[in-house]
Amino acid sequence: MYKARRRFFLVVVSLIVLITFLLVALAIIPHYPVIQSYNLIFTAIVVSMLLCILQFIGGLTTAYTDRKLEENVLYTKETALLSEFINNLRFCYTLDDFYDVIGRILEEKADCAVFYVDRRKNYVLYNSPARLTISKETMRNLELNFDADWKSGLYFLGENYGVVSSHKNARGLLLVNNQHHLFIFCRYTRLFDVVIYPRLFEEFCRFQRRTSTISDLTDIAELSKEWDQLAETQRAFLPQNMPVLDNIDIASYFKPLVNVSGDYYWVEKLDDTKTLVMLGDVSGKGLAAALVMGLVMNTVKIMENKEDLANIIRSIDKAIKNMKLQDKYTVLFIGIIDTKNMNIRYVNASMSDPVVITQSPDGHRLKPLSSNCSIVGIIDLDDITVAEQRLFRGDVILMASDGVSEVMNEEGVELGNTEIFTQTLKKSASKTPREFINNVVSLIKEHSGGKKLRDDVTMLVAKVG
């Protein structure tokens, strides 16, 4: 009815515009024996302006009439019930909102029975308390007639719950989208104006997209909370405060790329002259790396004899392998700083950056604490050798993850390969460990150009004396 009325009105308006245009155009055409060129130009301009004005007026009239026709057709009689349902559906953001609108409008006002089912899981989401929709026979027929592969769209249902081509013979509707089927059974379906159906289906699809998006966001929010809790738990493994040590000053820096990290470090006072230090990096990122990190930290903490560095490495290796994660391993540096004998005994399991910065007659120089053990947790370990390096008062020991040296600038040059990195380490060695770390962090930001880093950044700095 809406379309028929609209077509009729458009024809009438078009005829009125055309007749008016012809009458006015004929009235202003000059009647001279010889039509001069300027008279023709004047006539063309006036006629063009008149046509534009009439088109503008016709457009306004059509828009006004469309609005009135919509009010008269879509918001009166039976169609008004579906229009009210559509308008309320626009403000539904959850299934509970949807069910409330179904109950208030379709069931109470429109006397319809509604059946809503997720065909992927074959799970009933909503079922009106009507004899029709709670009938086992009805449910069985609908399941047989409309499976999960049914094409999206709006369909008219006949007497036996089959699809009919005309709304005049319909006793209900089926809306299918995203393998969700919404059945609306209504004995006077034929009385709804057909223009309402595309709007109903469009709004149903929008509702499903909204609920899907909100559900995804909710899941992400919940997951984010879980990751935040995991990050807090992971940080609890790390030293909360540095121990008070004689003749050693220590500072640390820990900045994960994301909320959880595979980097870790540990500092523990063994006695008045010996301090255990450790820094490592688990392969990969995410939950698995965080689990391995926690396992490594816990293994070290429960070791009774922490001076047996080789046994600590073997215990870590065994613990990781027992997890059977296949591709997870760790690189790490673990050492004991002895201020009585002025040395550091250590095992470097493939960490690339440990270095001692010491004073010399020509200024500070770097003495690498070279790797003497393979990666831990994935391959068979050879005999583990504990190395030893002499220390002097004022020496600085830098332990850092590869997130420091591998920071790249715009040209793709890694920070660890630059002269400014070496010079910064040497110049900062005379400062406190905290000031030393601050200088390196500033250099990282400057070298990266302020761009987001690609890896975790962890440092542990100890200064002897």
pLDDT in tens, 199-227: 899 999 988 887 886 666 556 556 566 66
Instruction: Assess contact for 86 and 200: CB atoms under 8 A.
Output: yes
Amino acid identity of 70?
Answer: E
Distance between CA atoms of 68 and 56, rounded to whole angstroms? 19
Contact 267/242 with Cβ under 8 angstroms?
yes
- 257 with 403, same domain: the answer is yes
Q: What pLDDT digit, counting tens, does each position of 251-302 carry?
A: 999 988 766 778 999 999 999 999 999 999 998 877 778 888 888 988 898 8
274 and 131 in a single domain? The answer is no
Among 74, 96, 111, the domain boundary falls at: 74
Q: Residue 234: is its pLDDT beyond 80?
A: no
Co-location of 263 and 284 in the same domain: yes
Asked whether residue 419 is assigned to any structural domain, the reply reads: yes
User: Is residue 444 a part of any domain in this protein?
Assistant: yes
pTM > 0.75: yes or no = no
Does 177 share its domain with 30? Answer: no
One domain, residues 23 and 61: yes
The angle formed by the CA atoms of residues 59, 61 and 65, to the nearest 5 degrees, is 120
In a domain, 124, yes or no: yes
Burial of 157 (0-12, 13-18, 19+ CB in 10 A): buried
Tokens 């004689």 -> residue = 246
- One domain, residues 171 and 205: yes
Q: Residues 366, 404: one domain? A: yes
Write the single-letter amino acid at 227.
W
Domain shared by 289 and 413, yes or no: yes
d(CA 366, CA 306): 28
Could you list the residue range(s) of the whole structural domain that residue 211 is in?
Answer: 79-216
CATH of the domain at 177: 3.30.450
d(CA 264, CA 330): 10
Cβ-Cβ contacts under 8 Å for 369 (sequence gap 6 or more)? 333, 335, 344, 346, 348, 354, 355, 356, 387, 389, 397
Which tokens is 343 given? 């040395």
116/409 Cα distance (integer angstroms):
56
Q: Residue 223: inside a domain, yes or no?
A: no
Give the pLDDT confidence of 384-424 residue by residue, as tens digits: 999 999 999 999 999 999 889 988 888 889 999 999 999 99
Q: Is residue 229 part of a domain?
A: no
Domain identity same for 266 and 415: yes
- How many domains, in total, are found in the chain? 3
